[in-house]
Amino acid sequence: MLMAAFGDPHRTPSPALGNGHPKHDEARRQPCTTGGLSQESRSALPEADLPEDWQETVGSRGERLLVPNLKTRRRKAVVVAIITAVVWSGLVLLVRESLREANLWGVTLMVTAFGIWLAHKTLGMLLTRQEWRIEHGRLVYQRRFAGKVTELCQARALELTESRDSNNDEWYHLHAIELSPSSFAHVGKTSEKILMTHSIRGPTELRCLARWLSREAGIPVYDRIPSEAEKKAEIARLLEQLAGTGKFGRFAAGLISPANRNKGGIGA
């Protein structure tokens, strides 16, 4: 409560990002970039609403900003603040008891460290946020602290990828890529990509966000999440390789194949 890739680097961009609907699947086969299109042309692209976890707002200079949903963030900040207040109230009582019982000082110090971390977390949620400034042909990544804005870098493309964790669960990621340092940044080097958001619930919301940003900023999206057909083809290829290793390989492939048909993949 306190805290909220696989891809072929040579795969071509495909910003059309389908989600299973026939129109979206058709759109997925179209060229991905919206850069260079007029406002009228971009407005004719398939609609893409922002997921509920995100919100568009306007900065003090009239710039368009994409930020995590402010109401959701405030609610989380209130919850963390309440927990922080409870911990510090308990800490006061614990200190009083420690003055009488010296053997309690070890626990008191651990609770103090936890209370300081919570207080830092609360202040960060209340005063700091990461945001993306939407400009034509790029996204500017910046940090806002108590009203002061620091530009960190610029991104000129987006990338959708898939990975698996130690439990073999599929995670989907949206990264900002093709980064370059902001002219106002105080660092001379940037990472290769920045994670904008990720989800274990499927790629649909991430594709909606990517398509929306592609349309609004005119930047390409590289969809490196394999389709179900591609996954099945890869599994079939691996099973064929396994069967070709010998008698035991054919036996193992025969055991795995029914599971693939019923569950959709190895280890599912």
* Phi, psi angles (nearest 5°) of residue 121: -65, -45
Type of residue found at 63: E
Please give the Cα distance from 140 to 179 (Å, whole number): 10
Task: Name the range with the highest mean pLDDT among 23-32, 51-60, 233-242, 249-258.
Answer: 51-60
pLDDT for residue 243? 76
- The dihedral sign for the CA sequence 176, 177, 183, 188: positive
pLDDT for residue 242? 74
Span 234-240, average pLDDT = 77
**155-207: pLDDT as tens digits:** 999 999 999 888 888 899 999 998 887 554 444 444 688 999 999 988 889 99
The three-state secondary structure class of 161 is strand
Of 59 and 213, which is predicted with more confidence?
213
Please give the Cα distance from 88 to 112 (Å, whole number): 8
**17-67: pLDDT as tens digits:** 433 344 334 433 333 443 333 343 334 344 567 888 898 988 888 899 999
> Above pLDDT 90, what percent of the chain?
32
pLDDT for residue 8? 41
pTM for the predicted model, two decimal places: 0.62
